Amino acid sequence: MPRRLSVVVLVIAAVLCVIASYGLRYLLMEGDQWVGRCVEDPAALACQVRATLGWMIHLRVIAWAALGCAVLAFVLPGVWGWRLAVPGLLLGLPALALYTASLAVFAVVLALLRLVRAPAAVAR
């Protein structure tokens, strides 16, 4: 896939990821209807997802995963670094939206720095 096309696909995926993250935050995590439903029936599937996501946010699982991918991507050369920067970015953006901005900002910056790094010149 040409580099320009892969960047366009990545930008579209990042925008969709941010939209889904804010939808998840405001509709499921902060939605008034789910607070009431989960008090009445905590065994419902949506309430279980909400509780699990709450623990993941509290323990910063998404942000740490994003930071791990971004650091590895920043260190690894070539295409493997680029391939690891993509999940670093796509995990860091939801972490920014889901209350772990202090840690996720480093992951997003590292991933973006790795994504815009010029490919190494081939020695002949």
d(CA 64, CA 66): 5
Q: What is the pLDDT along the chain (124 residues), one digit of tens a residue?
A: 677 888 899 999 999 999 999 999 999 888 888 888 888 888 989 899 999 999 999 999 999 999 999 999 999 988 899 899 999 999 999 999 998 888 999 999 999 999 988 776 555 5
Q: Are 99 and 77 in contact (CB under 8 A)?
A: no
Q: What's the pTM? A: 0.86
What does each C-alpha distance from 36 to 33, 39, 51, 52, 54 come to in angstroms?
A: 5, 5, 14, 17, 16
